[in-house]
Amino acid sequence: MTRVRALIIAGALASLAIPASSAMAGNEFAGIVANDVYSGGGSYQAKQFAAQQAAGIGVVRQTLPWAQVEIAPNDYDFTPFDGFVAQAALHDIRVLPVLFDPPAFRSSRPKGKSKYTYFPKSNADMAAFAAVVAGRYGPGGTFWGLHPELPNLAFTSYQVWNEPNLKAYSGGKPNAGQYVAMLKAVGAAIKAVDPAAEIVTAGLPDSRLSKPNVYKYIQQMYQAGAKGSFDTLGINPYAPTASGLISKLKKIRGVMAKNGDSAASIWVTELGWSDIGPGSPFRVGKSGQAKRIKQAIAALKRSEASLKLRGFFYFAWKDGAVYRGGKDFWGLHTGLLRKNGSRKSAFAAFKKAVASL
């Protein structure tokens, strides 16, 4: 028996800071990754979503943490995510959920191992979870039916996992065939609930940590039968320059063409540069960060048709703290905002570039 716990929004709307009037939805070509907003409280979420709305952002990419939602077998607690989705909708921002990280009782993690994130031990388990999510937040979903007072920004797209070509998110052993098997099962389950849903692959980075490199991994996905199992290929093509970013996307489109997959789109699910932090080709200074954001957004828009681009997500909204047990690196300094919430030059550059789309 399935049990679903959720936030009773109707009785809590007063604390959700409803805008006096609902503005036109932002441009869904322009997205943001904002993990700080999900982890923040209701008033913090309202303030940040208002700022994102003002910046023209139309979609936010957010991990829907399976381990936190399914608290016991078939017992789901969507309370935190309900509040996040409600606040996003109140500010005319749609959510792209990233289905990721199974609870311990669903994970293939060997006993005593804790270093990596592991795939589910059963793809059918993740498919069942995905179907519950689609039934709740998709078109005609129970969440929207229970809350007609909210703008109906149902989930129309779902991203399956994150960066499986890195050891950290594949149990230490990236395996394209294993990922494709999961993708097929989860995508089919979502389509059974919403045939029009867009299935997005995990964001695949081109990183020195990618084993194999992203181009070989995508080729291996196709060899494992991935064609037709997704609508959009998610890519995290970090590059030192905006032109380098486009070059990577062209190379990836070439791999797709080689495999006869002209139908699938590409979605840049992460891109970014840091202004400060440890040395890296991606640390480009205050003016360099603003300049590259401006150049990248314009270049992506120019390439929209030729590369069949779905859009992009800038990483990240706000600078982050060092991960527990980790160390500082450039990726913690890519925010449009500093850790204290003040705006960088990058924020103005982003807003201006999005307004010109």
Phi, psi torsion values for 85, nearest 5 degrees: -65, -40
DSSP SS3 for 152: coil
**How far is residue 163 from each of residues 62, 120, 204, 343, measured CA to CA in Å?**
14, 15, 5, 29
Model confidence pLDDT, tens digit, residues 187-239? 999 999 999 999 999 999 998 888 899 999 999 999 999 999 999 999 999 99
* pLDDT at residue 274, as a whole number: 98
Among candidate residues 279, 185, 264, 172, the one with its CA nearest the CA of residue 218: 264
pTM over 0.85: yes
- Kindly give the parts of the chain with pLDDT less than 70: 1, 7-25
Model confidence pLDDT, tens digit, residues 51-88? 999 999 999 999 999 999 999 999 999 999 999 999 99
* CB 143, CB 82: distance < 8 Å: yes
Q: What is the largest CA-CA distance in the chain?
A: 56
* pLDDT at residue 259, as a whole number: 98
Among candidate residues 110, 24, 33, 38, the one with its CA nearest the CA of residue 78: 38
**Side-chain half-sphere CA neighbours of 17 within 13 A:** 14
Q: Per DSSP, what are the bridge partners of residue 205? A: 236
* pLDDT at residue 255, as a whole number: 98
Q: Integer distance in angstroms from the first to the last C-alpha of the chain? A: 48
